[in-house]
């Protein structure tokens, strides 16, 4: 299975019935296509839409319907539109149950860096800073290492922070890791990997109690 497909399928299992969910730009948006049967969620887009549906088929694309990442989307029955001010009031008011975001770095304390690399072009911070501060749960969905094979899960973030102590769960193609007061707990590993391989790809210490689950 493709890395990205494996990640979003596992993230989808974290969705709870009745959740109001915001999916970040890029990989996290794919979670919308894998909502488990029997689970009903309402997707929020910070550019002003509640009730976002899955990505449309080419024949059904409406260029006027886009998410915050400028990707075309579909509507669900009962969806509604509103201003950016109202949208961020929902976020800042704590009305989003879950946000799923990508990351450049996450550290042992749940600090998140995902909006810029100094010296490189920055398009803008988007809504990530508001989302990680206002959402009830924050899941980071990302590939386990950089393109060069370097660690993205580190003892301490070296890049500018998006939020401090905000991440609850990290899900990669290799592992599911919970952020706790004691540190990073390795809860599950992919079916085709080992605890040793996950540790080798992770710069931060991982706590393991017993045999991790498999996904």
Q: What is the pLDDT of residues 166-198, one digit of tens each?
A: 999 999 999 999 999 999 999 999 999 999 999
Of 58-72, 95-109, 139-153, 159-173, give the lowest mean pLDDT range. Answer: 58-72
Sign of CA dihedral 42, 25, 149, 147: positive
**Beta strand ranges found along the chain (DSSP E):** 20-23, 42-45, 49-53, 74-81, 98-101, 105-107, 112-113, 137-141, 153-154, 169-171, 175-180, 183-189, 206-207, 213-214
- pLDDT at site 120: 85
* pLDDT confidence bin for 69, thresholds 50/70/90: confident
Alpha carbons 172 and 6: distance in angstroms, whole number:
8
Sequential DSSP letters for 143-155:
-SB-TTS-BSEES
- For 107-126, what is each residue's pLDDT tens digit? 999 999 999 988 887 777 67
Each residue's pLDDT tens digit, 26-55:
899 999 889 999 999 999 999 999 999 888
The residue that leads in pLDDT, 206 or 117, is 206
Number of neighbouring beta carbons within 10 Å of residue 60 = 11
Q: Are 41 and 34 in contact (CB under 8 A)?
A: no
Mean pLDDT to the nearest integer, 71-98: 94
**Mean pLDDT rounded to a whole number for the chain:** 94
Q: Active-site residue numbers?
A: 46
If residue 3 lies in a helix (H) or strand (E), which one and from where to where? Answer: helix 3-12
pTM (two decimals): 0.93
Question: How large a percentage of the chain has pLDDT more than 70?
Answer: 99
pLDDT computed for residue 56 by the predictor:
86
Give the pLDDT mean for 3-22.
97
């Amino acid at each position: 299975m493709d890395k990205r497909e494996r990640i979003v399928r596992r993230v989808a299992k974290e969705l709870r019935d009745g959740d109001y969910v915001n999916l970040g730009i890029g990989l996290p948006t794919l979670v919308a296509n894998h909502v488990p049967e029997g689970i009903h969620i309402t997707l929020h887009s910070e550019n002003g839409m509640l009730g976002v549906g899955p990505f449309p088929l080419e024949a059904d694309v409406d260029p006027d319907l886009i998410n915050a990442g400028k990707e075309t989307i579909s509507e669900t029955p009962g969806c509604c539109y509103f201003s950016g001010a109202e949208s961020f009031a929902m976020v800042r008011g704590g009305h989003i149950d879950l946000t799923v975001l990508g990351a450049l770095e996450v550290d042992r304390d749940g600090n998140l860096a995902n909006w810029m690399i100094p010296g490189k072009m920055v398009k803008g911070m988007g809504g990530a800073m508001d989302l990680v501060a206002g959402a009830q749960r924050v899941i980071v969905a990302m590939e386990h290492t950089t393109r060069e094979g370097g660690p993205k899960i580190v003892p301490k973030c070296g890049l500018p922070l998006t939020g401090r102590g905000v991440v609850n769960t990290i899900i990669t193609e290799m592992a599911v890791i919970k952020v706790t007061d004691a540190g990073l707990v390795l809860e599950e590993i992919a079916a085709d990997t080992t605890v040793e391989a996950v540790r080798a790809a992770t710069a931060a210490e991982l706590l393991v109690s017993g045999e991790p689950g498999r996904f």
